[in-house]
Amino acid sequence: MALTAALAGCVTSTPPLSVDEIKTWKVVSVEGIVAPVARSGWMSAAHDFRKLKGLEIIVKPSEERGLPQQIIEPALPLEEYRAYIASQFSQRVKTSFIGPLQGGLHGTRPVRIVVSMHDALILDGNARFGATLLSGQSGDENTLTASIDVVDARTGKTLLTFPQSVTKGTGGALGLALGGGPIIESDPMIRMLNSLRERFTAWLLKRA
């Protein structure tokens, strides 16, 4: 399940609300969800799910000399896998978003922040190495396609939508945390979410 579509990564529209109105918001919850037609190439999460369910990929020697090894990949129970991906994504959204947004928006009107994942591509070490050999630096690229809704916590009304856009990252388990500073963030999904959060915050507080 690999990312097969690349959407525009630039967001240029301005929120149709004043900054003063936005500053009345108080972030009471943050969550991540998986869009109904989302596709995921988040390989480390797939590996973790297979291990959890006892569905590890099996590599068997070929019965005939000179032929490649047989790779047996048990099918994933899609509904369970989707729920697992949603849970893992939501945990990382909370890690990235909740502290900075609650620190910056602490008015009186309670709102919920909902980040929707539409596509993701994060290769594992073996796939990353092979892709880099074949295509150079582009083989080391991760992508996250997501949108963000700000929802009134009392009424359920969507107040604002940050349009679907692509966030890019590189590398696997090691990399500098986006946002500056010497802190090392080891999770490539969180690194991309940090970058998405910064773009969202800048867009949110931009005046017309």
pLDDT, average across residues 177-192? 67
Token pair listed for 84: 């697992």
Rounded to an integer, what distance in angstroms lies between the CA atom of residue 60 and that of residue 93?
38
How much is the pLDDT for 41? 84
Model confidence at 72, pLDDT cuts 50, 70, 90, reads: low
* Chain centre to alpha carbon of residue 157: 24
How much is the pLDDT for 131? 44
Distance set, CA 188 to CA 102, 146, 175, 201 (Å): 23, 15, 8, 20
**In this predicted model, which residue has the larger pLDDT, 30 or 127?**
30
Model confidence at 161, pLDDT cuts 50, 70, 90, reads: very high
The pTM assigned to this predicted structure is 0.76
Q: pLDDT at residue 176 above 60?
A: no
Which of 8, 21, 37 has the alpha carbon at shortest distance from 205?
21
Lowest mean pLDDT among 49-53, 78-82, 130-134, 137-141: 130-134
Lowest mean pLDDT among 55-59, 160-164, 201-205: 55-59
Q: pLDDT at residue 159 above 90?
A: yes
DSSP-based three-state secondary structure for 181: coil
Which of 56, 60, 62 has the alpha carbon at shortest distance from 76?
56
Average pLDDT, the chain: 79
Model confidence at 7, pLDDT cuts 50, 70, 90, reads: very low
**Residue reference for tokens 């893992």:** 88
Rounded to an integer, what distance in angstroms lies between the CA atom of residue 135 and that of residue 1?
19
Token pair listed for 200: 């969202």
Q: What percent of the chain has pLDDT over 90?
A: 44
Rounded to an integer, what distance in angstroms lies between the CA atom of residue 85 and that of residue 80?
9
Model confidence at 106, pLDDT cuts 50, 70, 90, reads: confident
**165 within 8 A of 193, measured Cβ to Cβ:** no
Angle at CA 193, nearest 5°, toward 188 and 199?
135
How much is the pLDDT for 29? 96
Residues 6+ away with beta carbon under 8 Å from 77? 53
**H/E element holding 46?**
helix 43-53
